[in-house]
Amino acid sequence: MKKNKFNKAWLDQHRNDPYVKLAQKHGYRARAAFKLLEIDEEEHLIRPGIQVVDLGSTPGAWSQVLRERLAGAPGGGIFGRIVALDLLPMEPIADVEFIQGDFREDAVLSQLESLIGENKLDLVVSDMAPNLSGVEIADAARMADLIEMALQFSIDHLKPNGVLLVKCFHGSGYSQLVERFKQVFVQVKPRKPKASRDKSAETYLLGRGLKFVKPAH
């Protein structure tokens, strides 16, 4: 009975959520689109010609925003390149190259790396989150592992002035993550877009400009 009450409360909140309604109105697959839109308005991350990887892309709302912002090439294409990756399947989006697989697996990471080749990236965005157990310390550790992988991927593949934007949780281990970002990036900013629910511990960390650049092989 309690579970049904919880589900009903969540459904009511979801139906009445202004960002859910806006997402439906604008054809976005999830309200998360507005988190990226808001951060981009402030930070100017998405501009024509960029190479970007979208980690944890399903259902595709962030890839939709990326595509929208890069659209306008002759013949209806995009200026730039978008590669998306997720553990779950994603309905196709025009001009978005999608890989289904687990980012934590070497074979999947190799597939992603071979797809982007020698091209250095301007932007890596990650809305990845682990399946949450409700045990804060365990969930924070899983989240930190995903973020560390996104960080390592960015060190290997970002341009010197590139940007990494990741989802994280403001709680156990958060200050250590900020410190880790500061080791890697020249500029580090926390971002809590209005589209993130107030009650949610979710926040975003943005790192811009690598402090050290890996020499070419």
Enumerate the active-site residues: 167
Please, are residues 73 and 104 in contact by the beta-carbon 8 Å criterion? no
76 Rama sector, left if φ>0, alpha if ψ -120 to 50, beta otherwise? left
In sequence order, what are the beta bridge partners of 98? Answer: 84
Q: How many CB atoms lie within 10 A of CB 26?
A: 13
Residues 6+ apart with CB under 8 A from 136: 171, 172
In sequence order, what are the beta bridge partners of 96? Answer: 82
List strands edge to edge, sheet with 51-55. 96-100, 81-86, 51-55, 121-126, 158-169, 202-210, 185-191
